[in-house]
Structure formats: structure tokens, C-alpha cells
């Protein structure tokens, strides 16, 4: 549900927010300021996840809720900084608020407005049960260095905050936070952190804030080329088996050659906890080859997502070839940017994938190939072998091989096969495949 203003007085207004009292998510238009915040607390008391936006376009792709009454909505230019601060102070008293997202605040920028940092400080100070704060907005932040230090201190002292995303804070207009970034910004309880390359961070701050964190499980870097030097330090630490809790590493910009080499080295040295990797391979296919070749030597990464923006087939060919003998990767998501059609995806990806799934790879469970807002379809044959892998094909075949090599009890292996067949009895194709692989379960012919 989305915040919508109406003509009635605030004291009798029951329709400022359109939604069900049991809703746990809400979208609030920042132009409603205090009125919207009060209405949220009164009429939607169970909201845990709140999106604050400047909803200026009914047809906005990001607006999936009730259309705005633009005729009655206050102009964003008429909302003062004091009202925004007051709005966030009221929201800070909302007892169930756990996740706050500020995004799509383009109306502020278009109206030459800035966002008062003091509002965020007040919210963090008051919302004591807040678990995640995502600031995804390309808008100027107003405040003095004192405001910057106060905000970061509030973050550090917050007792339950685990996730902070500061995307789009790397632009020059937002240097108020960048200049005040310090090791205090990442307490040991934080689990996720998102950083932008425009922040003026020293090597020492990276070492203290990221590498020595005892709880950080996800690091997202929007490098813009500026953060590559620090990213190399993080990769070196991963290669040396530091950052023992880091499970996810996301890099949103194209890699430089040196960073690609560092990534390949880190993957090859098999960091024990890193399981999810999201990279943009750009147009240099040799970088993709470096990365995917390293996957041959890795047995911990379970999921990868690559953004491929080139028009050549080098990355694709290398990826498929090197996955042939990988035994731990379960999920692959490839997002294409460039001249990729369904026919080309079939030729470059799906035919080679079918070959390796049929003969060599029994662990890959899910493949997603897409471009912009559309997904490429997988062939029925590829879907079938992925389904077999999800059903435990690798476990069954390995148990049989190990039993033959080690002369272990055949009744244990037989029981495993029987349980798998019973478990998937509703899927005729899977059961038929398993029976063909182990004909001993078929009735004897006369």
C-alpha cells in the first residue's frame, strides 16, 4: 500500500494510507511528511518494512501500488527540512519498524532540494529495533561535518542494526558522509555492508572496518573504478583466509585487469566461507576466462551471478567449458547486456550446458539467463537434467561408485536409492531415470 493524501483534516483522516491494518510493508510518499508518518502509526501498526519515495509518476515502473492522488498531494518544494526531520522522528517511534529503504527520491533532485542528514540521525537514534537501513538515492545530502559524525555515531551505537547499504553515496554532492567515514562505521555485529567508490577511504580504514569485522557476511562494492585498490586488499585477505564470516561478495562495476587477476587468485585459493559471487565481466572476455578458469579449483562457491556486456562469445565459452568439472556450483545467473538473442543463447550456452549436464556435471541445480526485463527460456532437456541434479543424482551415483571402490555394504546404498525413488515417486521422469541407472529395482523378467 502506498501513502495517498486526502482533503480531510488529519485528526479525522482514516485514508491517508491505503492498506490493510495487517500489512507488514508500506510505501510512503516523502511529500506527506508528518501527516503520512502519523497515519502510518495509526492505521498500519504492523508495518515492518517501509519504503520512502518521492512518487511523482503514476506510471513509474518501480511503483507497483495504488496510484497517487497528484491533485491533492503537497508539492515537494513546500515540504521543509524541519518537516522531513519531524517525519523521521515520528517514524522512529513506530515500534515494529525493522527495515527502512529510501529510494527513488528524484523529485528532491529535480526541485533542487537536498535531503537533511539530521532526519536519518534522528530515526536511527529512536528506532531501536531497526535491523536494516538502505539509502539508495542519487540526491544531495545536507549537513555539516558535525551532522556527519552524529549520524555515524548513531549507527555505531545502534544495538540491533545489522545491514547498511549506502548505494549512490559516491557522488561528489554526498561527500559529507565520505569525509567522515571511519572504522567506527562497521561494528562487529553488522552482517552486511554496501560501499560506493566515491568515498575517500584509506587502506587502514578498509583493514579495520571490513577485514577485521567478526560478523560481516555480505560486502557489496559499487566501485566506479575508484574502489578497485581497496577491493584488491579485500581479495588478498580472502586469499589468505581472513574475513572468515564473509559469504557473499558483490561487485557492480566492470573489473580492471588487475582486479580480475586478484579475483582469479582468490577463487583458486579456495576461501572457505565465500559461497556467492556477483561480478560484472564487462567486454574483456579474457577477464571472464581468468575468473571462470579459477572455478575449476574451487569447491566452496555455490552461486555465481555474472553480468556479461560484451558481444563476443569468449566469456560464455570459457564459463561453460570450465563448469564441466566443477563439483560444487549449484546456481548460475547470467545477465546479458548486448546483442544476445534466444537463438544465440541456445547456441552459445544451452547446447554446451546440455552436454555437460548429461555427461559430467551432476551438481548444478539452477540456471537463469536473462536480459533487461525478460528471461531466456531453457530447453526441456536442460530443465530435466537440472531437475535430476536437484533430486540428488550426484549423491546416488557417487554412493554406488564409492561402494564398488571401498567394498562397503550394498544394503546401505540400496536403501539410499530406494528412499530417493520413493521421495520422487510423483515425478515419473525422475523415477524412470533412476531405475534405468539402477535396474536392480526393476522386477525380474521371466
Output the pLDDT for position 65. 38
424, pLDDT greater than 50: yes
Q: What is the pLDDT of residues 277-309, one digit of tens each?
A: 888 766 555 677 788 888 877 888 999 888 876
386, pLDDT greater than 50: yes
Alpha-carbon distance 426 to 361, whole Å? 24
Give the confidence band of 313 by pLDDT, cuts at 50, 70, 90: low
Output the pLDDT for position 56. 47
Spell 295-334 as b/e; 16+ CB within 10 A means b. bbebeebebbbbbbbbeebbbbbbbbebbeebeebbebeb
Cβ pair 404, 438 in contact under 8 A: no
* DSSP code at position 17: B
Give the number of other Cβ atoms within 10 Å of residue 127's Cβ. Answer: 23
Comparing CA positions, the residue from 139, 137, 130, 192 lying closest to residue 164 is: 192
Comparing CA positions, the residue from 323, 261, 334 lying closest to residue 297 is: 323
Listed in sequence order, the DSSP H helices in 243-346 are 257-268, 285-294, 314-323, 342-345
Q: List beta partners, residue 53.
A: 29
Q: What is the pLDDT of residues 107-145, one digit of tens each?
A: 665 656 677 888 889 999 999 899 988 876 555 666 777
Q: What is the pLDDT of residues 64-90, one digit of tens each?
A: 333 333 334 445 557 788 888 999 999
Alpha-carbon distance 126 to 129, whole Å? 9
Domains annotated on the chain, with CATH: 1-180 (3.80.10), 395-441 (no CATH)
* DSSP code at position 274: -
Cβ pair 273, 247 in contact under 8 A: yes
C-alpha cell at 365: 541445480
Q: What is the pLDDT of residues 6-18, one digit of tens each?
A: 433 343 344 445 5
Q: What is the pLDDT of residues 266-280, one digit of tens each?
A: 888 877 788 898 887
Q: Determine the average pLDDT of the residues in 42-66.
A: 65
Alpha-carbon distance 144 to 122, whole Å? 15
Q: Report CA-CA distances (Å) from 384 to 304, 322, 357, 389, 393.
A: 21, 21, 10, 9, 12
Q: What is the pLDDT of residues 91-111, one digit of tens each?
A: 999 989 999 988 777 666 565
26, pLDDT greater than 80: yes
Q: What is the pLDDT of residues 236-268, one digit of tens each?
A: 877 877 777 788 888 877 777 888 888 888 888
182, pLDDT greater than 70: no
Cβ pair 79, 56 in contact under 8 A: no
Alpha-carbon distance 259 to 385, whole Å? 35
DSSP code string of 207-265: IIIIIT-SS--EEEEE-TTTSHHHHHHHHHHHHTT--TT--EEEEEEEPPHHHHHHHHH
Amino acid at each position: 500500500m502506498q501513502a495517498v493524501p486526502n482533503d480531510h483534516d488529519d485528526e479525522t483522516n482514516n485514508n491517508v494510507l491505503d492498506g490493510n491494518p495487517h500489512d507488514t510493508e508500506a510505501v510512503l510518499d516523502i511529500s506527506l511528511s508528518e501527516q503520512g508518518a502519523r497515519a502510518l502509526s495509526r492505521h498500519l501498526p504492523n508495518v515492518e518494512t517501509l519504503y520512502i519515495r518521492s512518487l511523482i509518476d503514476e506510471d513509474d515502473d518501480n511503483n507497483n501500488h495504488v496510484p497517487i492522488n497528484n491533485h491533492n498531494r503537497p508539492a515537494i518544494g513546500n515540504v521543509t527540512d524541519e518537516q522531513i526531520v519531524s517525519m523521521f522522528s515520528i517514524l522512529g517511534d513506530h515500534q515494529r519498524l525493522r527495515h527502512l529503504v529510501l529510494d527513488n527520491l528524484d523529485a528532491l533532485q529535480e526541485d533542487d532540494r537536498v535531503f537533511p542528514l539530521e532526519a536519518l540521525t534522528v530515526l536511527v537514534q529512536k528506532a531501536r529495533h531497526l535491523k536494516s537501513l538502505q539509502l539508495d538515492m542519487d540526491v544531495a545530502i545536507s549537513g555539516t561535518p558535525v551532522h556527519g559524525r552524529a549520524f555515524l555515531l548513531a549507527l555505531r551505537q545502534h544495538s540491533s542494526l545489522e545491514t547498511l547499504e549506502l548505494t549512490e553515496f559516491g557522488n561528489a554532492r554526498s561527500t559529507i558522509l565520505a569525509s567522515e567515514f571511519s572504522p567506527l562505521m562497521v561494528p562487529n555485529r553488522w552482517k552486511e555492508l554496501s560501499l560506493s567508490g566515491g568515498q575517500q577511504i584509506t587502506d587502514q580504514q578498509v583493514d579495520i572496518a571490513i577485514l577485521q569485522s567478526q560478523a560481516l557476511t555480505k560486502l557489496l562494492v559499487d566501485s566506479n573504478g575508484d574502489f578497485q585498490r581497496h577491493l584488491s586488499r579485500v581479495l588478498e585477505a580472502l586469499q589468505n583466509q581472513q574475513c572468515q564470516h564473509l559469504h557473499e561478495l558483490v561487485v557492480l562495476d566492470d573489473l580492471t585487469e588487475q582486479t580480475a587477476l586478484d579475483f582469479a587468485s582468490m577463487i583458486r585459493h579456495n576461501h572457505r566461507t565465500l559461497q556467492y559471487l556477483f561480478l560484472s565481466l564487462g567486454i574483456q572476455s579474457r577477464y571472464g576466462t581468468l575468473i571462470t578458469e579459477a572455478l575449476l579449483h574451487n569447491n566452496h562457491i555455490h552461486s555465481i551471478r555474472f553480468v556479461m556486456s560484451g558481444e563476443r562469445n569468449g566469456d560464455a565459452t570459457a564459463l561453460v567449458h570450465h563448469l564441466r568439472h566443477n563439483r560444487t556450483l549449484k546456481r548460475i545467473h547470467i545477465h546479458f547486456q548486448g546483442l544476445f538473442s534466444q537463438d544465440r543463447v541456445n547456441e552459445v550456452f544451452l547446447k554446451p550446458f546440455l552436454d555437460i549436464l548429461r555427461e559430467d556435471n551432476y551438481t548444478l541445480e539452477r540456471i537463469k539467463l536473462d536480459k533487461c526485463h525478460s528471461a531466456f527460456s531453457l530447453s526441456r532437456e536442460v530443465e530435466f537434467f537440472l531437475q535430476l541434479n536437484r533430486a540428488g543424482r550426484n549423491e546416488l551415483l557417487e554412493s554406488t561408485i564409492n561402494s564398488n571402490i571401498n567394498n562397503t555394504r550394498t544394503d546401505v546404498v540400496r536403501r539410499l536409492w530406494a528412499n530417493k525413488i520413493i521421495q520422487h515417486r510423483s515425478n515419473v521422469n525422475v523415477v524412470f531415470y533412476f531405475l534405468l541407472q539402477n535396474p536392480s529395482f526393476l522386477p525380474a523378467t521371466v
